[in-house]
Amino acid sequence: MQTKFIFVTGGVMSGLGKGVVTSSIAKLLQLSNQKVSCVKIDPYLNYDAGTMNPVAHGEVFVTDDGGECDMDIGNYERFLNQNIPKTHNITTAQIYSTVIDAERKGEYLGACVQIIPHVTDEIKRRIRNIAQSEKLDVLVVECGGTVGDIESLPFLEALRQLRLEDGAQNVIFVHVTLAPSLDVVGEQKTKPTQHSVQELRRIGIQPDLVAVRCSAPLHESTKKKISMFTNVTIRDVFSCHDVKSIFMVPQILYDQGIVDTIFTKFGKVGLVNTSANWDRWNSIVSSLDRQDGYIKIAMVGKYVTLADSYVSVNHALKHAGAKIGKSVSIDWIDSETINGNIEKLDKYDGILVPGGFGNRGADGIIKTANHAREKNIPYLGICFGFQLAAVAFGRFVCGFDDANSAELDAGTKNAIVDLLPEQKTISNMGGSLRLGAHEISIKNNTIAHKTYGTSVIRRHRHRYEINKEYLPVLEKNGMIFSAESDGSKRMEILEVPKHRFYLGVQFHPEFSSRPGYPEESFVAFLNAATS
């Protein structure tokens, strides 16, 4: 079986929504009953996104199989409602490590090892391997970066070769560009698009489709001009204008005939009736847009200067809000600014503390977790927000003044949160946290049980955990641990039964939430926040 490939490249500048175009095309093909998946190429030198600061690069998305991936992988999962394995996030470091390892083993039999063909062959091998092993009808591959970047050249070269080898009937290039409007009259400028397509053609790639980001729908005259200068027929120039929600992008591309265009280019015939797929998708998209009142949530975290650093949490709140028919408005509050002014949190319906690492701002999180408990404000603590809720309880309820996490104070006498034992011998920081999906068993008669039933599988990303020595004293004072994993080695959920809703989870529920299929703890949290 020959998998068809769609390669998505980007021009002009970053942040144009290449990931959304990629996900939307994949979604449309999935709605057309094709078996699809997506791949993200990240030309940077990091092996994976795990060591990157979320404020600079956006959230680190964790896959079921423990990959620490680019946040676009999260978009693919949310659009397609399907798990994406970590092999679908390819970086320069992965490619070069494989090539260099092979060279050291003597596998190139004396050859001079070069970018072409050895590096490009490895890139193609990985892409083909995904297509074949997953028996995909179509694989959509997004190449990160902007055309003209030095880093992405070997990848674009590999994609060019793949088209040459597999033929135009099996490989399509989609180039995403920008048509800015500078004045109030709204003239759409095409020069940036012209230049970026020229750059692409210079390296041997002629795009088949051009997807143009713009604020208002692309005028016919703009399409004509772009068509002429980019050597793409006018039908193949698509307007990607601003819409209220990214989940509406598949519809606007569909309305311009993109599915027919792709099917024709691939020589696929006989579109089946997919109206049932569309009905389900449309009802999900419109539920996300419903606005019958607001729930006000304070999200108190460390990486609040970039909305993308907690992108999955933001989405998960929206999915859960849609389920209960409410919009969620989120105020991001920098935990470093929480001090004498903590009363400002009182006006919120709920407080959420997401994941985080390191000392900066940790004190504000501990105070926030304590305040939510004292003021009986619904609280959901995720990972760091779970660990520091236990620390706050140890400090302010159990009377251990120096209670802390060993991550924040290695010398504390009361390390309520301590390093995972198997972490003690680890020296490499990359890829070495406790990662990915683990099964969690839940105790009866708890909020956790009401939320999930007797067990649930969720994704993890942590190096520290609750120190079990402190369970008796924490439980005696009214904080219970209602779920565990790895036998009963690790504590996974905490709650305070006397409180309206006080839940902390060691795992990351946000990575399992999808439009139309909200994650249970977010629904429970919002339900409590509205009652």
Query: Is position 458 an interface residue for ligand GLN (rule: CB under 6 A)?
Result: no
Write down the least CB distance from residue 62 to ligand GLN, Å. Answer: 9
> By CB under 6 A, which span of 9-17, 35-43, 151-159, 354-362 interacts with ligand GLN?
354-362
Query: Is position 356 an interface residue for ligand GLN (rule: CB under 6 A)?
Result: yes
Q: In what order do the strands lie in the sheet with 455-462?
A: 327-334, 294-301, 350-353, 379-382, 502-505, 490-495, 480-485, 434-442, 455-462
Query: Is position 507 an interface residue for ligand GLN (rule: CB under 6 A)?
Result: no
Nearer residue to ligand GLN within complex by CB, 56 or 116? 56
In sequence order, the 6+-apart residues with CB closer than 8 A to the CB of 89 are: 39, 40, 42, 48, 49, 67, 69, 70, 73
> By CB under 6 A, which span of 286-294, 309-317, 373-381, 458-466 interacts with ligand GLN?
458-466
Q: SS3 breakdown of the chain: % helix, strand, coil, rounded to 5?
A: 40, 20, 35
Determine contact, residues 510/313, Cβ cutoff 8 Å: yes
> By CB under 6 A, which span of 249-257, 303-311, 381-389, 480-488 interacts with ligand GLN?
381-389
Q: Site for ligand GLN (CB under 6 A): which residue of 219, 463, 468, 500?
A: 463
Nearer residue to ligand GLN within complex by CB, 6 or 391? 391
> By CB under 6 A, which span of 250-258, 285-293, 324-332, 383-391 interacts with ligand GLN?
383-391
Residue 441 buriedness (CB in 10 A; 0-12 / 13-18 / 19+): middle
Q: Site for ligand GLN (CB under 6 A): which residue of 281, 384, 393, 525?
A: 384
Q: Site for ligand GLN (CB under 6 A): which residue of 18, 461, 490, 514?
A: 461
- Which secondary-structure segment (H or E) carries 237? strand 237-241
Q: Report the alpha-carbon distance of residue 289 to residue 311 in Å, rounded.
A: 17
Query: Is position 462 an interface residue for ligand GLN (rule: CB under 6 A)?
Result: yes
Query: Is position 459 an interface residue for ligand GLN (rule: CB under 6 A)?
Result: no
Write down the least CB distance from residue 510 to ligand GLN, Å. Answer: 11
Query: Is position 383 an interface residue for ligand GLN (rule: CB under 6 A)?
Result: yes
The pair of three-digit structure tokens given for residue 351, joined into one six-digit string: 């407080």
Nearer residue to ligand GLN within complex by CB, 388 or 523? 388
For the segment 101-130, give every residue that binds ligand GLN (CB under 6 A).
none
Query: Is position 302 an interface residue for ligand GLN (rule: CB under 6 A)?
Result: no
Query: Is position 357 an interface residue for ligand GLN (rule: CB under 6 A)?
Result: yes
Residue number with the shortest CB distance to ligand GLN?
A: 355
- The catalytic site residues sit at 383, 508, 510
Q: How far is CA 207 from its chain centroid?
A: 27
Nearer residue to ligand GLN within complex by CB, 177 or 405? 405
Backbone angles phi, psi at 134, to 5 degrees: -100, 5
For the segment 399-428, give every residue that binds ligand GLN (CB under 6 A).
407
The pair of three-digit structure tokens given for residue 305, joined into one six-digit string: 């200067």
> By CB under 6 A, which span of 154-162, 272-280, 334-342, 460-468 interacts with ligand GLN?
460-468
Cis peptide, bond prior to residue 117, ω within 30 of zero: yes
Nearer residue to ligand GLN within complex by CB, 31 or 353? 353
Write down the least CB distance from residue 412 to ligand GLN, Å. Answer: 15
Total residues in contact with ligand GLN, by rule CB under 6 A: 11
Q: Which 3 state secondary structure label does DSSP give 335?
A: helix
Question: Where does 263-345 show beta strands of DSSP type E?
Answer: 294-301, 327-334
Write down the least CB distance from residue 303 to ligand GLN, Å. Answer: 11
Write down the least CB distance from residue 506 to ligand GLN, Å. Answer: 8
For the segment 178-217, give every residue that binds ligand GLN (CB under 6 A).
none
Place of tokens 């039999």: 109
Q: Site for ligand GLN (CB under 6 A): which residue of 321, 355, 378, 436?
A: 355
Q: Report the alpha-carbon distance of residue 458 to residue 470 in Å, rounded.
A: 24
Nearer residue to ligand GLN within complex by CB, 323 or 508? 508
Nearer residue to ligand GLN within complex by CB, 266 or 507? 507
Q: Which 3 state secondary structure label does DSSP give 141?
A: strand
> By CB under 6 A, which span of 140-148, 241-249, 424-432, 457-465 interacts with ligand GLN?
457-465
Nearer residue to ligand GLN within complex by CB, 140 or 383? 383
Residue 273 gets which letter from DSSP? P
Q: How far is CA 448 from its chain centroid?
A: 25
Nearer residue to ligand GLN within complex by CB, 407 or 492? 407
> By CB under 6 A, which span of 125-133, 169-177, 180-188, 456-464 interacts with ligand GLN?
456-464
Query: Is position 490 an interface residue for ligand GLN (rule: CB under 6 A)?
Result: no
Count of CB atoms within 10 A of residue 346's CB? 12
Determine contact, residues 404/446, Cβ cutoff 8 Å: no
Q: Report the alpha-carbon distance of residue 172 to residue 201 in Å, rounded.
A: 14
Q: Report the alpha-carbon distance of residue 169 to residue 67 in Å, rounded.
A: 33
Question: Where does 58-157 show beta strands of DSSP type E?
Answer: 61-62, 68-69, 89-91, 138-143
Beta-strand pair 61-62/237-241: unpaired
Count of CB atoms within 10 A of residue 215's CB? 11
User: If we measure between CA atoms, which residue out of 380, 364, 470 comes closest to residue 416?
Assistant: 470
Nearer residue to ligand GLN within complex by CB, 332 or 384? 384
Residue ranges in contact with ligand GLN by CB under 6 A: 355-357, 383-384, 387, 407, 461-464
